[in-house]
Amino acid sequence: MNRSQRFKKWSFITIILTIMSFTAHSSLAQKQKVWLDSDTGNEMDDLYAIVRLLKDPSIDVVGLSSAHFNNPDLLVFEKWNAYNTEGLETMKDSQRLNELILKTMGMVSIPHPKGADRQIGRAWGGSEPRDSPAAQEIIKIAKSLPEGEKLDILTLGALTNIASAIIISPEILPKIRVYALGAKYDQNTRAWSKNEFNIRNDLNAFDYLLDLKELDFTVMPLETALPLKFDRDETYQKTDDSIPIEKILADRWREQNPQDRTRVMWDLALVQAYLLPEFSETLMVNSPPENKTFTIKIFSKIDNIAFMEDFWTILKL
């Protein structure tokens, strides 16, 4: 091989390596940006959903915000789940757990701002926003995205933070997609019910989002999530207390719901349906008749076995 041939060979190899490097960096840069908004302090399944999302290598989690879970029971009962209701500040408890998870997983660099401490508007309705560090950070990230990119926002509780962000800065609408767990939808009768915990905690926010015809909005009704159930003893067996984040998950069940042999993993169902579209189905259905949009997308079916197997596999990575 003469000098000219060697030069051509190494030039070709250099070009190939450059293309491979560019492709690898492009692939990394193109990871979908995801924001998770969670009422983590409310029940145990939020923690499992957060950990699953944080462990996924295919996405870029750009934020974890805390949602309130204010509800009338806090005013009239001494206990809510395992909490004493006296002095309970629900958003702050969600924030505490979010920070614990991120610290335990070595991910405190992920933005984790506080959300609103109450619903938008007032008890009789309205759409006055509830500004918060979470709403402002969502706005900031959405506005920073280049043309053609979107921020996917997953909400596991009241929709206060995302609704407030849109009310404050409506220009982010084309830059976001929202996926929410909440409400009920009967696929046989095609009837909606808003008589559900997440929605009741900020009905104003849910109605506001359902009135936005420009919003890319997907809802997982409770009926769809219902099949995803974890067994208590199996969960204890599969979690390793010598691994800090797994101990946190098991302890959450031990402390919050030790009497329950099984638990529906509502929030995990939404996260898995988002991450594993091949194991879930969606439908376009009529919106509630009192709202301004004509149709809305729902998660209509999930493969609960695939979701469960995937969770335990990813947890051990």
pLDDT at residue 14, as a whole number: 38
| AA letter at 253 | W
Which whole number is the average pLDDT over 90-114? Answer: 98
Which whole number is the average pLDDT over 6-22? Answer: 41
pLDDT at 12 over 50: no
pLDDT at 11 over 70: no
pLDDT at 303 over 80: yes
pLDDT at residue 267, as a whole number: 98
pLDDT at residue 34, as a whole number: 98
Q: Which two tokens stand for residue 287?
A: 């919106």
106-121 pLDDT, tens digit per residue, is 999 999 999 999 999 9
pLDDT at residue 27, as a whole number: 43
pLDDT at residue 30, as a whole number: 83
> Which whole-number Å values give the CA distances from 141 to 125, 153, 176, 229, in the listed order?
29, 11, 10, 34
* Residue 10 or 211, more confident: 211
pLDDT at 276 over 90: yes
pLDDT at residue 59, as a whole number: 98
| AA letter at 286 | N
Confidence class for position 1, pLDDT limits 50, 70, 90: low
State what percent of residues in the chain have pLDDT above 70: 91
Which whole number is the average pLDDT over 197-208? Answer: 98
pLDDT at 185 over 90: yes
Of how many residues is the chain composed?
Answer: 317
Rounded to the nearest integer, the mean pLDDT of the chain is: 92
**In the CATH hierarchy, which fold is given to the domain comprising 35-315?**
Inosine-uridine Nucleoside N-ribohydrolase; Chain A (3.90.245)
Confidence class for position 243, pLDDT limits 50, 70, 90: very high
pLDDT at 82 over 90: no
pLDDT at residue 81, as a whole number: 87
pLDDT at 6 over 50: no
Question: Which one of 5-9, 22-26, 80-84, 286-290 scores highest in mean pLDDT?
Answer: 286-290
pLDDT at 262 over 70: yes
pLDDT at residue 296, as a whole number: 97
State what percent of residues in the chain have pLDDT above 90: 89
Say which range, 36-50, 70-84, 204-218, has the weakest mean pLDDT. 70-84
* Residue 30 or 172, more confident: 172
